[in-house]
């Protein structure tokens, strides 16, 4: 049983977990003092244009200005239309500093990099993503396949989309009716109108629209029919969830339940320990091995160690089993930690190529349910596999962890002796400078003690050799590897001060949570925007009809229902291009003796003649008696059929790795030639209307029925 658990008992942290049984498979956390800014919409002002970077910098209200590439500036902000002979670098002449723009954050600030901005706004709904100023954008999520994809294309064509806007169909739209999608589109259009009105009422910079909090995002992005329960442990949050579901997803409102047990919600399902593992560097595997995750500036490395793993008859089998476990756990940890960017995985060495391909297939299968775009390479001869994952939001570490103030995030510090000797060399270097009268060194207690005792003679030699005074001051507030060195010139004539009085007082800083309370969060101009009407509740009749249609096409029953389903489509005569894919399977019918008695002796009206075949297929037709025993001729026809069907199946495979905006989508195909293979495309086309009586159709054999269902799936 899958559940969505919402923990809101502590206002400092809102947590949402998705569990299957007692196994955590997705997790999100939000700290109100560090609210997510991705997808927020601001009105900003261009402060600087950098032609060398082909970008502009925009002040949208943050401390660090945002980065706006020229390619992300909509033509509506140009002073004049971009000519056909002008390139992207010429945009610098069409915009100016001080110009106000409405921007959306694509990537949040990371390290020293400012936020990445775009003027192509994307508004995410429950089923659709509206691109109000990008008419070229649009498509259907690649996770929707087969029959549902064809139905959505028809529904998408029937929606009332304003001119100049684009629309992306999300994965959640699979199986939804035209009424539900139109309702979602109307809500997004109303939201865009409110954003446009607010953008004209104030001067930049200010926040126009703020993305929903983690709870609303989880309901919008993750709530599907396979989620059986939504448990909330806070009454106020429970009421908010029910209000949202009543307006947007009324068919899921009965799944929301208030958790009132004395045992904490996450402890009840034993996932607190799994969440703690997501913060650790090393994650154990069931067989005794472990994976170690390390982060660098350029990429993330993942190492697999066999450790105590002994599952297997030999070293090759042990490595193979451990790598299979690691592949599954790596996919899970990437989702829990929400890591993005480049990854290099160091699997345990395997000599068998079959084992390497199996581990790659296991990793690809494990990441199929991930919402982020993922690209996976192959295991190299060094045992390394490269992959990339789309960064959807700040990772768990970025939102919950801070760099260590002692090591500055490096993870290691210098030893006491190493630091003391390093300071000793710096003292002598400072003593070499002209007019040096005194050197005052403040050190942590341990290295200061080492210098004053083990290196007392060396310090004395430096004082005599360079005629300078050296003062070593142990400072309690300093920790290795921190130290302070002060060089005092002889001409300054500093007053004599007792050494212990030179100890600087520790600078006391308020903790982050204390300073966060003083900062007032910016209020968006458009907030608490709800649909004007509740979402429509889909009737059970339409669902039954959809199931009926699916089974009819799966077993071949849709052939007889095709004219009734599409009465407006005229019968199209066959051509040489379509004859190969639409002709009946004559060789398979000859082999199927069980259906031979039911097959009419005369050919059906849609039977392909020799003249309708492509030139490569033209050859003398032998006598029927010979043709039955001539396997060579039948083999040629079978090869021709596979070759003719290849273009239909190759196109969807090439599109699976495509990348677009926030969700993997593709442009809707034009015409039937580029559509994915489905049961519809394997059915014979209706014969031309010749005025003669329609002859009975050829029954579907078991072999044909199996092939049709496989390709439709």
Residues 435-443, mean pLDDT to the nearest whole number: 91
Strand 2-7 to 227-232 pairing: parallel
The answer to whether the CB of 37 falls within 8 A of the CB of 105 is yes
CATH tag, 37-120: 2.40.50.140
Q: Which structure tokens are listed for 278?
A: 């997501």
Q: Which structure tokens are listed for 381?
A: 């001869």
Q: Which residues, other chains included, contact 227 with Cβ-Cβ below 8 Å and sequence gap of 6+?
A: 2, 3, 4, 18, 252, 255
Helix (H) or strand (E) holding 45: strand 41-50
Is cis: bond before 483, omega within 30 of 0? no
Q: Is the pLDDT of residue 201 over 60?
A: yes
Q: Is the pLDDT of residue 610 over 70?
A: no
User: CA-CA distance, 657 to 377, in Å (whole number)?
Assistant: 12
What would you measure as the largest C-alpha separation in the chain, in angstroms?
121
Is cis: bond before 481, omega within 30 of 0? yes
Q: Which residues, other chains included, contact 686 with Cβ-Cβ below 8 Å and sequence gap of 6+?
A: 562, 563, 571, 572, 606
Helix (H) or strand (E) holding 424: helix 416-431
**Can you give the pTM of this predicted structure?**
0.69
Q: Which residue has the higher pLDDT, 546 or 632?
A: 546
Residues 532-543, mean pLDDT to the nearest whole number: 64
Q: Which residue has the higher pLDDT, 640 or 434?
A: 434
Report pLDDT for 76.
Answer: 86
Q: Which residue has the higher pLDDT, 205 or 606?
A: 205
Q: Is the pLDDT of residue 709 over 70?
A: no
Q: Is the pLDDT of residue 498 over 80?
A: no
Report pLDDT for 705.
Answer: 41
Q: Is the pLDDT of residue 687 over 90?
A: no
User: CA-CA distance, 270 to 277, in Å (whole number)?
Assistant: 13
Per residue in 315-353, pLDDT (tens digit) is 899 999 999 999 999 999 999 999 999 999 999 999 999
CATH tag, 416-497: 3.40.1260.20
Strand partners, 45: 59, 100
Q: Which residue has the higher pLDDT, 23 or 698?
A: 23
Per residue in 545-578, pLDDT (tens digit) is 656 666 665 665 444 444 444 444 444 444 444 4
Report pLDDT for 31.
Answer: 82
Q: Which structure tokens are listed for 296?
A: 């660098």
Report pLDDT for 283.
Answer: 95
Per residue in 144-182, pLDDT (tens digit) is 888 888 888 899 889 888 888 999 999 888 888 889 899
User: CA-CA distance, 481 to 448, in Å (whole number)?
Assistant: 12
Per residue in 20-34, pLDDT (tens digit) is 999 999 999 988 767
Report pLDDT for 314.
Answer: 85
Per-residue pLDDT band for 230 (boundaries 50, 70, 90) equals very high
407 annotated ligand binder:
yes
Q: Which structure tokens are listed for 40?
A: 């927020």
Report pLDDT for 77.
Answer: 87
Report pLDDT for 641.
Answer: 44
User: CA-CA distance, 258 to 177, in Å (whole number)?
Assistant: 31
Report pLDDT for 87.
Answer: 66
Percent of the chain topping pLDDT 90: 41
Q: Which residue has the higher pLDDT, 564 or 255?
A: 255
Report pLDDT for 510.
Answer: 52
Report pLDDT for 578.
Answer: 40
Burial of 56 (0-12, 13-18, 19+ CB in 10 A): buried
Residues 120-149, mean pLDDT to the nearest whole number: 88
Least confident of 38-47, 87-96, 111-120, 659-668: 659-668
The answer to whether the CB of 368 falls within 8 A of the CB of 376 is no
Is the four-CA dihedral 630, 631, 635, 638 of positive or negative sign? positive
Q: What are phi and psi of 190, to 5 degrees?
A: -65, -40
Report pLDDT for 582.
Answer: 43
Q: What are phi and psi of 550, to 5 degrees?
A: -65, -45
Strand 66-69 to 256-258 pairing: unpaired
Average pLDDT across the chain, whole number = 77
Closest CA to 662 of 373, 387, 341: 373
CATH tag, 2-34+213-272: 3.30.420.60
Q: Is the pLDDT of residue 45 over 90?
A: yes
| Separation of CA 535 from chain center | 27
Break the chain into its structural domains and give their ranges: 2-34+213-272, 37-120, 137-200+526-560, 279-400, 416-497
28 annotated ligand binder:
no
Strand partners, 556: none
Q: Is the pLDDT of residue 75 over 90?
A: no
DSSP secondary structure letter of residue 34: G
Which residue has tokens 């004049």? 80
The answer to whether the CB of 76 falls within 8 A of the CB of 235 is no
Q: Is the pLDDT of residue 625 over 80?
A: no
The answer to whether the CB of 390 falls within 8 A of the CB of 373 is yes
Residues 108-121, mean pLDDT to the nearest whole number: 88
Per residue in 418-434, pLDDT (tens digit) is 999 999 999 999 999 99
């Amino acid at each position: 049983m899958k559940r969505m658990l919402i923990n809101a008992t502590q206002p400092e942290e809102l947590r949402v977990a998705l569990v299957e049984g007692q196994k955590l498979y997705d997790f999100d956390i939000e700290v109100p003092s560090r609210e997510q800014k991705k997808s927020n919409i601001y009105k900003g002002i261009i402060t600087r244009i950098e032609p060398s970077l082909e970008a502009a910098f925009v002040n949208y209200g943050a401390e660090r200005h945002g980065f706006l590439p020229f390619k992300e500036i909509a033509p509506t902000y140009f002073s004049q239309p971009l000519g056909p002979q002008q390139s992207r670098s010429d945009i610098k002449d069409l915009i100016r500093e001080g110009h106000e723009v409405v921007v959306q954050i694509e990537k949040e600030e990371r390290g020293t990099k400012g936020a990445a901005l775009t003027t192509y706004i994307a508004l995410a709904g429950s089923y659709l993503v509206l691109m109000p100023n990008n008419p070229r954008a649009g498509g259907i999520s690649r996770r929707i396949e087969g029959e549902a994809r064809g139905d959505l294309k028809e529904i998408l064509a029937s929606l009332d989309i304003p001119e100049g806007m684009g629309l992306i169909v999300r994965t959640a739209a699979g199986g939804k009716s035209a009424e539900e999608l139109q309702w979602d589109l109307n809500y997004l259009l109303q939201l865009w109108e409110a954003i446009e009105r607010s953008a004209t009422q104030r001067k930049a910079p200010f926040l126009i629209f703020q993305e929903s909090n983690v709870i609303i995002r989880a309901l919008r992005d993750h709530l599907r029919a396979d989620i059986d329960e939504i448990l909330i442990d806070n009454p106020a949050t429970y009421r908010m969830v029910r209000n949202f579901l009543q307006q947007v997803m009324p068919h899921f409102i009965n799944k929301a339940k208030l958790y009132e047990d004395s045992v904490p919600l996450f402890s009840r399902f034993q996932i607190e320990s799994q969440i703690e593992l997501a913060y650790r560097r090393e994650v154990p595997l069931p067989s005794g091995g472990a994976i170690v995750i390390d982060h660098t500036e350029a990429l993330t490395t993942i190492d697999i160690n066999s450790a105590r793993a002994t599952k297997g008859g030999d070293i090759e089998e042990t490595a193979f089993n451990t790598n299979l476990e690691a592949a599954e756990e790596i996919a899970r940890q990437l989702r829990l930690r929400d890591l993005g960017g480049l990854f290099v995985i160091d699997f345990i060495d395997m000599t068998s190529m079959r084992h390497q391909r199996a581990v790659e297939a296991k990793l690809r299968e494990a990441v199929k349910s991930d919402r982020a775009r993922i690209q996976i390479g192959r295991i190299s001869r060094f045992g390394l596999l490269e992959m990339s994952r789309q960064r959807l939001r700040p990772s768990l570490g970025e939102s919950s962890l801070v760099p260590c103030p002692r090591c500055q995030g490096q993870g290691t510090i210098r030893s006491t002796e190493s630091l003391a000797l390093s300071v000793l060399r710096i003292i002598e270097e400072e003593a070499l400078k002209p007019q040096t009268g005194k050197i005052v060194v403040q050190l942590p207690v341990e290295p200061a003690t080492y210098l004053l005792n083990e290196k007392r003679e060396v310090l004395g030699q430096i004082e005599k050799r360079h005629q300078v005074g050296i003062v070593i001051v142990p400072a309690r507030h300093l920790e290795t590897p921190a130290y302070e060195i002060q060089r005092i010139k002889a001409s300054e004539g500093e007053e004599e001060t007792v050494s212990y009085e030179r100890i600087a007082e520790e600078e006391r800083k308020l903790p982050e949570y204390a300073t966060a309370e003083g900062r007032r969060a910016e209020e968006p101009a458009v907030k608490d925007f709800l649909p004007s009407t509740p979402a429509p509740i889909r009737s059970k009749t339409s669902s039954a009809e959809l199931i009926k249609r699916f089974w009819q096409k799966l077993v071949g029953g849709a052939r007889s229902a095709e004219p009734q389903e599409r009465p407006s489509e005229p019968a199209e005569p066959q051509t040489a291009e379509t004859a190969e894919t639409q002709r009946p399977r004559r060789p398979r019918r000859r082999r199927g003796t069980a259906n031979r008695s039911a097959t009419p002796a005369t050919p059906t009206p849609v039977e392909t003649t020799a003249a309708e075949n492509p030139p490569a297929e033209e050859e003398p037709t032998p006598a029927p008696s010979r043709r039955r025993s001539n396997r060579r001729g039948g083999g040629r026809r079978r090869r021709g059929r596979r070759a003719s069907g290849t273009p239909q199946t190759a196109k969807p495979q090439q599109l699976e790795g495509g990348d677009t905006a926030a969700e993997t989508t593709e442009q809707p195909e034009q015409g039937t030639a580029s559509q994915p293979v489905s049961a519809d495309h394997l059915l014979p086309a209706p014969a031309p209307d010749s005025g003669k009586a329609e002859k009975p159709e050829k029954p579907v054999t078991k072999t044909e029925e199996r092939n049709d269902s496989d390709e439709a799936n």
